[in-house]
A = this chain, B = another copy of it.
Amino acid sequence: MDKVLLDYGSGGRASHRFVADLFFKHLGNDILARMDDAAVLSLTGPVAMSTDSFVVDPIFFPGGDIGSLAVHGTVNDVAMMGARPLYLTCGFILEEGLPMDDLARIVASMGEAARAARVRIVAGDTKVVPRGAADKIFINTTGIGEIMVDPAPSGHRAAVGDVVLVSGNMGDHGLAILSTRAGLSFDAPVVSDSASLGGLVGKLLAAVPGVHVLRDPTRGGLATTLNEIAGQSNVGIEINEADIPVDPAVAGGCSILGLDPLYLANEGKFLCILPEPQAQAALAVLRADPLGSGAVAIGRVTAEHAGKVAMVTPLGGKRLLGMLEGEQLPRIC
């Protein structure tokens, strides 16, 4: 068969063959292979659990696809709680008629991303809806992992005097999706940063367990994420515009398109907020890893303007940086 059929979501014989052929081949492991109603997992201590549905359009983009993104996105959310991501579930909603080649490529990419992130896909579900009732493929992933430090990092723990680090350039994923969708090309290629951050977070916490906040600036970008943290911790955050790393190709694309890279989604970067005396040690760990080679300090946590984010411009002015208002870019992830 070269296209997904409604039969494949029936729960009957056609479903079973489809699942066996495609999902077990790429995602299989001894837990998934038991095919019971739920997976049996062994876990100890407090765990972190997170869920995300992926509806990105287009489903293939420079630097990744909806399958690898679905693994990275949830692995990263679990890692941001200071947890070692261990297990994922995946729920597919497929549109009747989706080319089987596309689906196979996506599932293979999920398998590869899961192996690279050292997580196992332990339960899954597939629904097929009639043509027109969904757009090609949507994937939900839910992840769970064991928390490595106590207390766990949290958006509630930013403290006055803390330093704010970012692990690299801002805006790559958002601009890669938008430019692909619009059929735009720039002189230098713009590629999504989609990547699993679990390993890098593990190294960081092993060296610097006292990190206060970890968070990946996905939808809404850096500016929105900083606002969330300022609100949760009831502190001010002040960042220096000149210190925020943005790839020149992304900066150029954004200026052509009238977009602000501080509001664009990232899928392989994170923020780290921690006491000032530990900042250099954290930067050293981050910079030693390819995923954190562009890590820099961009600002600090202040007692002033609690709940808000201020940005100091290169000319020394200061302005408040709000949350994303409205929608900049639907179906970014």
Contact = CB atoms under 8 A, between A and B. Distances in A.
Contacts of A247: none
Contacts of A267: none
B154 A331 contact: no
Contacts of A60: none
Interface in A2-17: 5-7, 9-16
Task: Classify the interface of chain A: helix, strand, loop or mixed.
Answer: mixed
A15 B328 CA distance: 12
B122 A53 contact: no
Interface residues of A, number: 86
A80 B37 contact: yes
Nearest to A77: B37
Interface in A184-209: none
A130 interface: yes
A140 B50 CA distance: 12
Contacts of A265: 11
B50 A39 contact: yes
Contact of A34 (B87, B122, B154, B327): B154
- Identical subunits present: 2
A93 B263 CA distance: 22
Given A133-B134, A232-B35, A40 B147 contact: yes
A11 B80 CA distance: 17
A215 interface: yes
A125 B51 contact: yes
Contact of A122 (B49, B133, B216): B49
A170 to B, nearest CB: 15
Interface string A5-37: 111011111111000000000000000001111
